[in-house]
Amino acid sequence: MKLRIRDNSIRLRLTQTEVDTVSSAGAVRSRVSLPGGNGLDYVLEISATTARPSARLSGSALTISLPEPDVKRWASTEQVSIAADEALDDGEVLKILVEKDFACLAPREGEDESDMYPHPQEQE
């Protein structure tokens, strides 16, 4: 699972296996290890209690929660992404985007794309 954070936006990109895992097991997680034994865990989970995508930070774990019906529909169709805006306490907005990861049109050396979704333009 790839994580991209930029200003007030969080973007997760998942391989086919990761989409299947979150859909069937309810969660998928990854970790960025940092010097000193520290790290950042990031988790995508299905939540039965959330009506809209949401984010929370607890300790060193960033968790994105998605409604179960949204995940089931996304995982079983050609729908590419789940997107939402979450209002913040200071009046700002956090943009959340969870999407299927597509293979690049031009192969990149050293990149394993075997579990990525076929790029839509590749099928044309």
What pLDDT is stored for residue 82 in this prediction? Answer: 97
CA–CA distance, 91 with 81 (Å, rounded to integer): 25
The total number of residues shown for the chain amounts to 124
Alpha-carbon distance 89 to 104, whole Å?
Answer: 38
Position 76 scores a pLDDT of 93
Mean pLDDT by 10-residue block, N- to C-terminus, for the chain (124 residues)? 96 94 97 95 95 96 97 94 96 96 68 67 59
- Token pair recorded at residue 56: 């929370």
Domains of the chain and any CATH numbers: 2-103 (3.30.1360)
Radius of gyration of the chain, Cα coordinates, nearest whole angstrom = 15
SS3 state at 109: coil
